[in-house]
Structure 1
Amino acid sequence: MKLDDILNAKDPAAALRDSVIAAGGFWAEPNSTALFEIHFAGVAGVGIGAEEAAKAWLQAAKLAMDTAP
């Protein structure tokens, strides 16, 4: 799945989870009050719960794409 597919998905956090798992990664099913960290495709995102971490990852991925040479 491409970044645009994740960004434009109905549920970007779920699309990111599916991409991580499809790439052979591990995705823990956390509660919404635990610190959650995502490292995928050279980009990191951290937040309280998977949804906030996914939002942080998506912002970091957009920034990485915008600043890539």
Structure 2
Amino acid sequence: MKEYPFFLAQFTTFGYVGIYFSILFARYCAGLVTKEMLSLPKSSFVLIGILEALGLAAGMSAGGISET
């Protein structure tokens, strides 16, 4: 699958988003997460997510390069 590093990185990133959102939603419905907890500023988390996605894409594209 070395021909598809960008697709694999995007699939992994959006997979994380789906899984973690599902966990957060379940915890919110159970009352373990409150509206006050969700009111935190999210800009720093968005920046962390973007950097994580770029790092994953760079790592997978570097892993797809083989010297022969």
Q: Same fold (TM over 0.5)?
A: no
| TM bin (shorter chain) | 0.3 to 0.5
TM-score (norm 2): 0.38
Work out which structure has the larger RCO, using CA pairs closer than 8 Å and 6 or more positions apart in sequence.
2
Greater C-alpha Rg: 2
Name the structure where helix makes up a greater proportion of residues: 2
Q: TM-score, normalised by structure 1?
A: 0.38
